[in-house]
Amino acid sequence: MPGELIINAAPYETRVALVENGHVVELFIERHTDRTIVGNIYKGKVVKVLPGMQSAFVDIGLPKAAFLYVGDVCVKVDESLARAFGDDLDQTDLDPQVPSAADVPIEDRLREGQDILVQVAKEPLGSKGARVTTQITIPGRNLVLMPMVKHVGVSRRIDDENEREKLREIMLSIKPPDYGFIVRTAAEGAGPEKLEAEMRFLIKLWERICARAEKMPVPSLVYRELDITLRAARDLFTKEVERLVVDSEEEYEKIIEFVEAYMPSLKYNVELYRGNQPIFDAYGIEMELQRALNKKVWLKSGGYIVIETTEALTAIDVNTGRYVGKRNLDDTILKTNLEAIKEIACQLRLRNIGGIIIIDFIDMERAGDRERVFEALVEAFKRDRNKTKVLRMSEFGLVEMTRKRTRESISRLLQEPCPYCDGTGFVKSRQTVCYEILRTIERDKKELFGRDILVRAHPEVIDLFYDEERGAFESAEEKLHARIYLQADESLHVEQFEVVPFVHDDKQK
């Protein structure tokens, strides 16, 4: 089934869903108060060079200094390759003979106080600042300009080797000698005139960026990447996508203007949604979005996967659940693991989970089954636009993999740590709190002996004292030789309580 690009544009937030075979596989959300900075170009100042870490911190005008790694610093125009940018640039044919400047230490490349032009490669994530690079890339619809290199690469997503070679030859024949280019997947079938027109546009854009940077103070935003609507049209509206549907007339007109300029053949594939239901409800996307926030994801067979994300990595556990199979245990396990692979690949893309990922498959006795699961996992991620690397299954049935991360995951964007459990996902049980109260009384019994006291706690904790823990409560009264008054207070956290002297002329109950 052809893909669809569904865009929900509201004054406060724009959401873009890429739908394949009736399922949401990627979701992008941009809030107008927190627009993405990936792709933006800044004129910044080096504030700290760290030889021990081979990195530097750059002030680009954000609350936290940006991080610049030694491998992302150009030494000379033709000595390093531009880093991958977006979907195609992770999968290009780069000439391994092009020399690298990786051996030049950062202290020989940068000095503190130096003005520098950088591009954001990764959003600030958690407590970390943005990651930046001096290896600037300017993406277009069919091409990506790399002004710091002279190389020509072609996306490996173009399967036809003859077509890739043809596009490479076209670019080599028309490009100026001092610029490099990547030919993107969308350029498949494009002729020299189309590529040359876009090439000249990108070069002029770069020249304007350089001229502007010379005049601007430090730190300054020199170039802002397209907003999410136009980025979606540029990067996601490919031949695999049958239509683009948007629910805002203003955004529709913007997209039409953009499409007419860069891909006129797709103009009639753009639709303005006029339905009565909200567009994400009409296409079943809202329901899938809620599902993407759950830790447990059920499989059609009755098995399920559990996705747990920590600061360092994401762990995924595969379970048979309610699935009991039809033949034997080995076949049941294999079927569950293979079904889980499809869901894992889908969920990682949908949730935009990156970094280190550990998958705990159900143990398989047969070596052939383990190999089959590994091959299926590699195949499942071939459609992922983010770069992935999958290692073979360990003897414990674990698969380690990495997925490139450039922005916050959906869960971090849409959720925040629970103020009740402080992000742990757990709170102390009522029984535990009861015992903490009793220990507090025991600890302070010298000061409290012979004096009536008041215990104020959450109603569920107080109920437990009147029920299951009645004996322990009465025992504490006997040791104190005094009465303990209990007061339920719904305003208290279940873990909070107070133990104070009871004043009899108070109107406390």
Closest CA relative to residue 89, chosen from 32, 12, 150, 145: 145
End-of-domain residue from the set 287, 311, 332: 287
pTM value is 0.74
Tell whether 220 and 233 lie within a shared domain.
Answer: no
Residue 158 maps to a domain: yes
Confidence label for 92 from pLDDT (cuts 50, 70 and 90): very low
* Bond prior to 99 in cis (omega within 30° of 0): no
The answer to whether residue 242 scores a pLDDT higher than 80 is yes
Tell whether 56 and 201 lie within a shared domain.
Answer: yes
Residue 90 confidence (pLDDT): 40
Residue 210 confidence (pLDDT): 93
Amino acid identity, residue 72?
Answer: D
**How far is 146 from 151, CA to CA, in rounded Å?**
8
The answer to whether residue 98 scores a pLDDT higher than 70 is no
Count Cβ atoms below 10 Å from residue 285 Cβ, excluding itself.
20
End-of-domain residue from the set 170, 202, 224: 224
DSSP 92-107: B---TTS---TTS-GG
Confidence label for 462 from pLDDT (cuts 50, 70 and 90): very high
Domain that holds residue 147: 41-224
Confidence label for 203 from pLDDT (cuts 50, 70 and 90): very high
Residue 508 maps to a domain: no
End-of-domain residue from the set 184, 203, 224: 224
Residue 102 confidence (pLDDT): 54
The token pair that represents 78 in the structure block: 């033709």
In this prediction, residues 25-32 reach a mean pLDDT of 88
**Each residue's pLDDT tens digit, 385-435:** 888 999 999 888 899 999 988 777 888 888 887 877 777 778 889 999 999
Residue 325 confidence (pLDDT): 61
The answer to whether residue 85 scores a pLDDT higher than 50 is no
Confidence label for 326 from pLDDT (cuts 50, 70 and 90): low
CATH assignment of the domain containing 479: 3.40.1260.20
- Residue tagged 């397209």 (tokens): 226
**How far is 403 from 197, CA to CA, in rounded Å?**
34
Residue 509 confidence (pLDDT): 44
In this prediction, residues 222-234 reach a mean pLDDT of 91
Yes or no: say if 90 and 404 are a contact pair by the CB < 8 Å rule: yes
Tell whether 256 and 204 lie within a shared domain.
Answer: no
Which is higher by pLDDT, 94 or 481?
481
The answer to whether residue 91 scores a pLDDT higher than 70 is no
Residue 60 confidence (pLDDT): 95
Residues 6+ apart with CB under 8 A from 15: 7, 8, 27, 28, 29, 280
Query: How much is the mean pLDDT over the chain?
Result: 86
Tell whether 149 and 62 lie within a shared domain.
Answer: yes
Tell whether 217 and 359 lie within a shared domain.
Answer: no
Tell whether 314 and 282 lie within a shared domain.
Answer: no
Tell whether 138 and 194 lie within a shared domain.
Answer: yes
**Each residue's pLDDT tens digit, 116-138:** 999 999 888 777 899 999 999 99
Residue 509 maps to a domain: no
The answer to whether residue 89 scores a pLDDT higher than 60 is no
Structurally, the chain folds into a number of domains equal to 4
**How far is 37 from 461, CA to CA, in rounded Å?**
48
Residue 323 confidence (pLDDT): 67
In this prediction, residues 449-460 reach a mean pLDDT of 90
Tell whether 438 and 392 lie within a shared domain.
Answer: no
The answer to whether residue 53 scores a pLDDT higher than 50 is yes
Tell whether 371 and 407 lie within a shared domain.
Answer: yes
**How far is 302 from 326, CA to CA, in rounded Å?**
13
Confidence label for 1 from pLDDT (cuts 50, 70 and 90): low
CATH assignment of the domain containing 49: 2.40.50.140
Confidence label for 88 from pLDDT (cuts 50, 70 and 90): very low
The answer to whether residue 94 scores a pLDDT higher than 90 is no
